[in-house]
Amino acid sequence: MGREKSHEIFARSQQLMPGGVNSPARAFGAVGGEPVVMQRGEGAYLFDVDGNRYIDYIGSWGPMILGHTHPKVTHAIESAVKRGTSFGAPTEAENTLAELIINAVPSIEKLRLVNSGTEATMSAIRLARGYTGRDVIVKFAGNYHGHVDSLLVAAGSAAATLGVPNSPGVTAGTTKDTLVLAYNDVTGVETAFENYGAQIAGVILEPIVGNMGTVIPSPEFLTSLRKLTSQHNALLIFDEVMTGFRVAFGGAQSLNGITPDLTTLGKIVGGGMPIGAYGGKAEIMNHVMPAGQVFQAGTLSGNPIATAAGIATLQTLRDENPYPRLEQLSARLAEGLGDAANSAGVPHTVTRVGSMLTLFFNESPVDNWQVAAKCDTARFGKYFWGLMDRGVYMPCSQYEALFVSAAHTEADIDETIDAAKAALAIS
């Protein structure tokens, strides 16, 4: 597969941008080699600048659940552009998107639109602190909540400790009120509430993790979080930036039956345009300015183009209900990848919820970061490039979930499984 043009363009990118990219996940750092420069997307496929076609399982890291250039989404964006790109004033479309989200996500009564998932989680924890008058936020190792300073601790790496920053530039002062615990560790959470209960403003978590690969919470873990936060008057915050409208139309909370106090959204909610949202009980959301005192603002928040793309995406998901088909295609893929690893004699575990899945090169079930960290990432790198060379574009890290979209067909899935068989046989 020729990638000469990609190589030339990326050489220039490296002179212009740090590492040649505008977000580190794209840089192929974990698998070696250079990223491929993309030219266009169509349905389940991406085409690079050298004309190679790839079956895409990244889906822009989550948003593209309908596939690329979906006609309804494209049309909505085109129509919105003609009416103007930003007004900095209320529009009716913001109500439409808010209503779609509120009707879909059980715990959200009121919400605020922002411009990214990072902004959503940053604002949600500010609100939790402002609302409770407390400082401490509990997060879990291996959960990623965007590049918010105080949450950039054990964010998909590093061990569970009390607030040790893992990016230079994030000060110890900023993270001293962040308590990092192990995912799925009920005793750890109980102990934290025993010791710090009166200081804890909120607990934030991915209610199904995607950012250390796909990891599923135990029902006891979720139940204990709900119980302990309620007992101690702390807020439970579900970061559904990835899982919202992905694992089900109502997000992870509609599957696990736990009602958080606040929920953060992004990715699918913007249909491929930059967006984020946070919402929850009206009584809590009414503390956000100008209804309340907790400051949060945005020049482009509720942007007409992003809002139009989000509305078209959510309406299509609601009306066409692709979730049963996504379930079927994803189950087929999970089984096929597991079989491919079995026939190659490769120790592995496959974890899947709906159209989010990870083939871990680890024979133990992965339920927290400590276990995830033991995956054979060298083998993952070979597997990744074996797939690339066969026209399959998977996340370039063992610690990311892959996504199936409504545009994938059974033929795409079967072609992917064949590619995985070949890639695993030689790696």
As annotated, the active-site residues are 144, 239, 267
Q: Are 121 and 146 in contact (CB under 8 A)?
A: yes
**Options 211, 263, 368, 397; binder of ligand PLP; rule CB under 6 A:** 211
Q: Which is nearer to ligand PLP, 140 or 196 (CB)?
A: 140
Beta-strand relationship, 200-205 and 136-140: parallel
263 lies in the site for ligand PLP, by CB under 6 A: no
Q: Which is nearer to ligand PLP, 118 or 362 (CB)?
A: 118
Residue 170 C-beta: closest distance to ligand PLP, Å: 16
266 lies in the site for ligand PLP, by CB under 6 A: yes
Residues 140-199 binding ligand PLP (CB under 6 A) are 144-146
Beta-strand relationship, 178-181 and 136-140: parallel
210 lies in the site for ligand PLP, by CB under 6 A: yes
E strands present in 152-199: 178-181
* 375-379: long-range pairs with CB below 8 Å, 24+: 375/213, 375/399, 376/347, 377/30, 379/346, 379/427
What gap in Å lies between CA 378 and CA 376, rounded to an integer?
A: 6
The site string for ligand PLP over 240-259 (x = CB under 6 A, - otherwise) reads: -xx-----------------
Q: Which is nearer to ligand PLP, 242 or 404 (CB)?
A: 242
CA angle 317, 323, 326 (to 5 degrees): 120
Tokens of 237: 């915050």
Q: Which is nearer to ligand PLP, 6 or 143 (CB)?
A: 143
403 lies in the site for ligand PLP, by CB under 6 A: no
Q: Are 277 and 266 in contact (CB under 8 A)?
A: yes
What gap in Å lies between CA 264 and CA 248, rounded to an integer?
A: 15
The site string for ligand PLP over 112-151 (x = CB under 6 A, - otherwise) reads: ----xxx--x----------------------xxx-----
Q: Which residues bind ligand PLP (CB under 6 A)?
A: 116-118, 121, 144-146, 206, 210-211, 239, 241-242, 266, 276
